[in-house]
Chains A and B, each alone.
Chain A
Amino acid sequence: MTKYVLRRLTQVAPTIVGIICASFILVRLAPGDPIDVLASGNGDEAYYEFMRTKYQLDEPLVTQLWAYFSNVLRGDFGTSYLTGEPVVHMIIPRIGSTVLLTLSSIFVSTIIGVMCGLLAAWRVDQTVDRVVLRLSTLAIAAPSFWIAQMMLLLFALRLGIFPSDGRNSPGFSGSGMARTIDTIWHLILPMTVLAIQESSTIARLTRIGIVDLLDEDHIRLARAKGLSDLQVISRHALRGSLRSVVTVIGGRVGHVFSGAVVVELIFGWPGLGQLVLSSSQAQDTPVLMGVLILVAAAVVVTNLATDLTYMVIDPRVRLR
């Protein structure tokens, strides 16, 4: 078991190094020039030369990559071309917002998803099951930007019960409990949009996991002993089916983040997704790279955590 954990841990570092190199080269090879954005259509040759030298953009790509890499190892992610600010300073204040949005939606979607999945499996091929299946198909198929716009029109404009944008009300100055309530009030719409698709996936997986299990021998034995469907599911099938749910949740962190880019954009949620979008539009490479590395690391770490959790849930993994 220790060996397995160690092996998984040693895979983390090379993965992250690979991600840094690949994304650095990809971002740099993309056509365009960050100075164009800085000049915004007004620079002359001298300005371009001056700014290129200032940001060391005139060095060869390999030199730049090496410099970047050694800086990152020292914890220096560079400074933004656009704002001159250290990238770390720009990222840190936004992490909280994105973590709040993604974690809350993973949490809510897991609860709702597992519950719907159980419900469907319990009454498989009956009305409840069909409703769950159809709704989840619909939710998976509908693009999240469309769901987001519809929710805005309904809840922010027509009913006026939720705010349209931001993490807090304009000019909000309260603190403590008042701020928390204000934040939750702002969180509900974007979180729901993000959770809708996730919970649909989870519901379907939970359902199919349980339905499959119900055919297995130990479940038949439990049934033969006279346990009711509900007891069989809650005592025996649920734990088994959780394996697939855990895998999905772990694997979906990256997916949820990419969903968060869209949701943050539409709801003006001040997180990393917005930063990714604005920095890639502005070709602000240092900022873009900083967020990419952070997200990649988050995905790698959650995958690791998933594997380790898996090991706890399913003893067979430990033996491999």
Chain B
Amino acid sequence: MKKSLTSVLVSLAALGVIPSAPINAATPISQGSPCTTEGSRVEGPKKTKLVCASVQGERIWITKGGDLVVAISQDPGSLNPAATTAGAVHTASELMFNGLVELDEKLRPTPELAESWTVDKKAKVYTFKLRRGIKWHDGVPFTSADVKYTFDEVLLKYHSRTRAAMLTALDGISTPDAHTVRFTFKEPYGPLLLQLDVTEAPILPAHIYQGSDPTKNSANLAPVGTGPFKFGSYVRGSEIVLTRNANYFKKGKPYLDRVIMRVIPNAATQLIALESGSVDFLWGVPGPDRARLLRRKKAFNTLVARRNPGGANCMMTVSFNLNRPITSNPSVRRAIFHAINRQAFLTDVIFNEGSVAAAPFSKGIVWAWGRNLKLPEYSKSKANTLLDAAGWTGRDGTTRTAQGVSGVANGTKLSIDFLHFPNFATYAELYKAQLTEVGIEVRLRPLQSGPFSTAVFANRDFDTNIISYCNGNDPEIGIRRMYDTAQIGSVAFSNAAAYSNRAVDALFQQARNTLDLDKRQDLYRRIQIQLVKDLPYLWLVEPKATRIYASSCGGFRPYSLFAEEAYCSS
């Protein structure tokens, strides 16, 4: 859907002369409609060739070929998704790679590079049978050696999530033959299958990386993968062109000829590019702009996604510093919870793009989040009662002061600070406004990510803060770090509250050692019941990203390899 100079000149010449033509007014079959017959047919006044193809499990008519132009907000710099968890790198590069398994929308593992797998009863040995006949983009066959190399030398060293989750638990990876990979763990390990998709564990070609520093290999800028698209070109700060992998092991896919990732750092420019037709797909659009675009006569469609290439199931979370006298009091934390109208955050801050958090765990981890748990509801009167009882008193409309609060001198104002990234300023304003109503003074401290991490994690210099904690596909990946005693420390985005509860630590460990999902679910439920009692954090809202794309395109998936089945008519 790119615009060329000539087409613009032509349209300029025709400006105001030719009204826009009605699109396929009398077309009996349109792109995207279900197939009743197989094969291909030519449709419409433009003689577009439609092909019956499989998109997300359905057979529909689509246009094959063509370009998809995707706006990305950051130049990735590297196209090696195994050596980092950076969202920019994953966004630009995942389409060129695969994981051993794929996780569908409900996080069910389905075969990808691995054809099948078995797990021993104790959940200590996982054996994967690899699909035969897969070739790297350079023609070299894919084997178990690639898997072993990628884990040992890249993922377990540089992929911070996979490293943190697996390194200490893993005993070793062996390759009994070229098409078998065996993971052996020191103790039972439940979450493995949720950590093997292209985001958590993309597989790299050993024959290219072996013997080099994987963070400096030149293939990081011209990758060789197994994925649906091959590397075409990369112009720094400008664009990455991916071309169709005609030998992709998922026969017939992908449908597009090229995917062009265009670096447009400024969100407003991205919108203009989409509206003027030079870009087809945006990863996210702010609420008000989205509403305006969607009013424009079906020119754009949306797709809601919980999982982003950089992290999945993110939850906006307020941390309470449990080492500070004010916020260490559970009644005060409960009072703050009661004073916060989380529904207002959903409607006014994220424009209903997501939901109010219903439990400590994200609803995106469908099997693990605690259904029917009761978080403190919005009630100013309850907040006031709790604060009064805790010794923080004051007349309506003024800031409360301490009267007999332990660790605090009488007469001290009830004043807390709130650290936030500058781009979370709207959260901060609303938080401040709502707490002021119950007599809590809030001092906002906007900080860029570097200084933020130093203040919160290294210096523990905060009362409250807000962090987007991405919960991941499994509680072991993104949730445990928030509550584990061992994760209190200077590492950024670990246990910000400094919450420590030996029983919770033990339950997390037990859940990790359990394979059976029902049993794990029960363990995580017990953890969440305890967390709702202790309230070390305020679980605010779960934002979802709304992708927006030109309606001439379709077939995008809300999870990894988003364009594997995408199509665009030019």
Contact = CB atoms under 8 A, between A and B. Distances in A.
Contacts of A90: 77, 236
- Choose among B12, B266, B494 the residue with the greatest number of A CB atoms under 10 Å from its CB: B266
B278 A33 contact: no
- Choose among B11, B449, B454 the residue with the greatest number of A CB atoms under 10 Å from its CB: B449
Interface string B448-467: 11110111001000000000
B3 A169 contact: yes
A161 interface: yes
A200 to B, nearest CB: 24
Contacts of B494: 44
Interface stretch (B156-164, B433-441, B503-511): B156-164
Contact of A33 (B238, B276, B453, B478): B453
B492 A39 contact: yes
A165 B311 CA distance: 28
Given A43-B160, A165-B269, A169-B3, A30 B450 contact: yes
A32 B164 CA distance: 21
B555 interface: no
B289 interface: no
A170 B262 contact: yes
B5 interface: yes
Interface string A204-231: 0000000000000000000000000000
- Choose among B75, B216, B311, B492 the residue with the greatest number of A CB atoms under 10 Å from its CB: B492
Interface string A12-52: 00000000000000000011110011111111111110100
A160 B8 contact: yes
A31 B459 CA distance: 11
Contact of B263 (A36, A85, A152, A270): A270
A83 B77 contact: yes
A242 B443 CA distance: 54
B86 interface: yes
Interface in B51-82: 67, 69, 74-75, 77-78
Contacts of A163: 3, 278
Interface residues of B, number: 72
Contacts of B111: none
B14 to A, nearest CB: 11
A27 to B, nearest CB: 11
Contacts of B268: 149, 152, 266
B85 A94 contact: no
A85 B78 contact: yes
Interface in B124-163: 157, 160-161, 163
Nearest to A90: B236
B206 interface: no
Nearest to A163: B278
B563 to A, nearest CB: 14
A152 B272 contact: yes
Contact of A94 (B237, B449, B458): B237
Nearest to A167: B238
A99 B167 CA distance: 47
A267 interface: yes
A164 B278 contact: yes
A1 interface: no
Contacts of A97: 237
Contacts of B275: 157
A193 B453 CA distance: 37
A248 interface: no
A213 to B, nearest CB: 44
A278 B492 contact: no
Contact of A32 (B235, B238, B448, B491): B448
Nearest to A91: B236
Contacts of B67: 170-171
17 contacts: A32-B449, A32-B451, A33-B492, A38-B160, A42-B478, A50-B157, A82-B78, A84-B213, A85-B216, A156-B273, A163-B3, A164-B272, A164-B273, A166-B262, A169-B3, A169-B278, A277-B265
Given A40-B85, A84-B220, A167-B238, 20 more contacts: A31-B455, A32-B451, A36-B453, A37-B449, A39-B492, A40-B84, A42-B161, A42-B481, A44-B163, A45-B489, A48-B491, A83-B221, A160-B11, A164-B278, A166-B262, A169-B278, A171-B241, A268-B269, A275-B75, A278-B265
Please list the 3 inter-chain residue pairs (A to B) with the smallest Cβ-Cβ separation, ordered nearest first: A32-B450, A270-B237, A41-B493
Interface of A: 30-33, 36-48, 50, 79-80, 82-85, 90, 93-94, 97, 149, 152-153, 156-157, 160-161, 163-171, 181-182, 185, 265-268, 270-271, 274-275, 277-278, 281, 283
